[in-house]
Amino acid sequence: MNTSRLAVYVRSRWLLFVFPVFGVLLTSAAAAQDFPSRPVRFMIPLAPGGGADITVRAVAQKLSGIWGQSVVVDNRPGGTGAIGLEMAARSQPDGYTITMISGTHTARRATHRGKLPYDLIKDFTPVTQMTRQSYVLVVHPSVPAKSVVELIALAKAKPGSLTYGSAGQGSLQHLSGALLATSTGATLLHVAYKGGGPALADLLAGHISMVFATPLESVPHIKSGRLRPLAVTSPKRSPAMPDLPFIAETGIAGYEVTNWYGVLAPVATRKPIIDRLNRGIVEALRTPELTERLQKDGVEPIGSAPAGFQQHIAAEIAKWERVVTAAGIKVD
């Protein structure tokens, strides 16, 4: 084969390789540009009624308007998120199924090492961190304590008399109570539920003593007098409740818990689709109406880039692994 024929042969083989690749890239770009062309399922791996449910439904409503497609909220409670997150991880990686996660799910990775039916790092691609907020430690009005100091004194005087509910075993609410107990030497009995909503409902009914609740779900009941707030878990006072102390301020040095909500997609979801999802959710969070609503209830809208959210998840997992080890927390 002479040089000219060799050049023609090489060029023809190269084109046979390149054209399909370009075709795939153009098809992917077109698909991302048209996304979404049908309803999107926004999963919540917790029961209805909690702060996560309230936030996701507000964001989903805005997304429907931005995209011109229905965004269907799908609650899948059970196993403190394990059932819903496993289902989301096994979904088609086409962007039409996304899932909300919270600080609880990074905490559970620390408490359930190797025991979960999904891997938060390997099975998902980060989309964005939606919000950040502290918990509010609220008690039922029948609890005589009017402050954290009085609550701890009561728990020590009557060991086992105070119960706190959470969104489930290993949830961030669970670790919030465990951290308070180990930091003070008090005995607090944990009661696990299938989400923050059911835990709050039982608190309102007087079946448990207290809950570490989100501002979104607790503020209406605080204003109505059905719950009594004692403190926030953040490292400073909340602008939404400036008269309420933060727990470290009451004498429990170093106590800090910050909750957050974010969005993940199945791991093989293409980057153009991830970017499209990110832009839509960030746009929804930045609408004046939603921003004002969240901030009014002590919730800070974030809207991070996918890479930033990935770094945040890794940092949170490392933090809770240290806390779980230091506190000797074990979850069956």
pTM above 0.75, yes or no: yes
Which pLDDT value is given to residue 17?
A: 58
Which pLDDT value is given to residue 86?
A: 97
Instruction: Name the residue with higher pLDDT: 297 or 128.
Output: 128
Task: Select the CATH number that applies to the domain covering 38-133+260-327 from these four: 3.40.718.10, 3.40.309.10, 3.65.10.10, 3.40.190.150.
Answer: 3.40.190.150
Instruction: Name the residue with higher pLDDT: 146 or 1.
Output: 146
- Domains of the chain: which residue ranges? 38-133+260-327, 136-250
Query: Per CATH, which fold does 136-250 belong to?
Result: D-Maltodextrin-Binding Protein; domain 2 (3.40.190)
Q: Work out the percent of the chain whose per-residue pLDDT is above 90.
A: 67
Which pLDDT value is given to residue 73?
A: 98
Question: Could you give the CA distance from residue 210 to residue 203 in angstroms, rounded to a whole number?
Answer: 6
Please compute, for residue 169, the number of CA atoms within 13 A of its CA located in the half-sphere on the CB side. 11
- Condensed to tens digits (0 to 9), the pLDDT of residues 111-169 reads 888 789 999 999 999 999 999 999 999 999 999 999 999 999 999 999 989 999 998 88
47-56, 123-132, 150-159, 273-282: segment of lowest average pLDDT:
47-56
- Tell whether the model's pLDDT for residue 253 goes beyond 70: yes
Which pLDDT value is given to residue 25?
A: 46
Mean pLDDT confidence for 105-114:
86
- Condensed to tens digits (0 to 9), the pLDDT of residues 183-221 reads 999 999 999 998 888 999 999 999 999 999 988 889 899
Contact assessment for residue 1 and residue 8, using Cβ atoms and an 8 Å cutoff = no
Across the chain, what does the average pLDDT equal? 89
Tokens of 242: 């400036």
Mean pLDDT confidence for 276-285:
98
- Tell whether the model's pLDDT for residue 264 goes beyond 50: yes
Mean pLDDT confidence for 214-241:
92
Question: Could you give the CA distance from residue 167 to residue 148 in angstroms, rounded to a whole number?
Answer: 22
> Which of 17-26, 31-40, 248-257 is the most confident on average?
248-257
Q: Do domains 38-133+260-327 and 136-250 have the same CATH topology?
A: yes
What is the number of helices (H) and of strands (E) in the chain? 11, 11
Instruction: Name the residue with higher pLDDT: 108 or 71.
Output: 71
Backbone angles phi, psi at 49, to 5 degrees: 105, -20
| Burial per residue of 107-133, b for 16 or more beta-carbon CB atoms within 10 angstroms, e otherwise | bbbbbbeeebebebeebbbbbbbbbbb
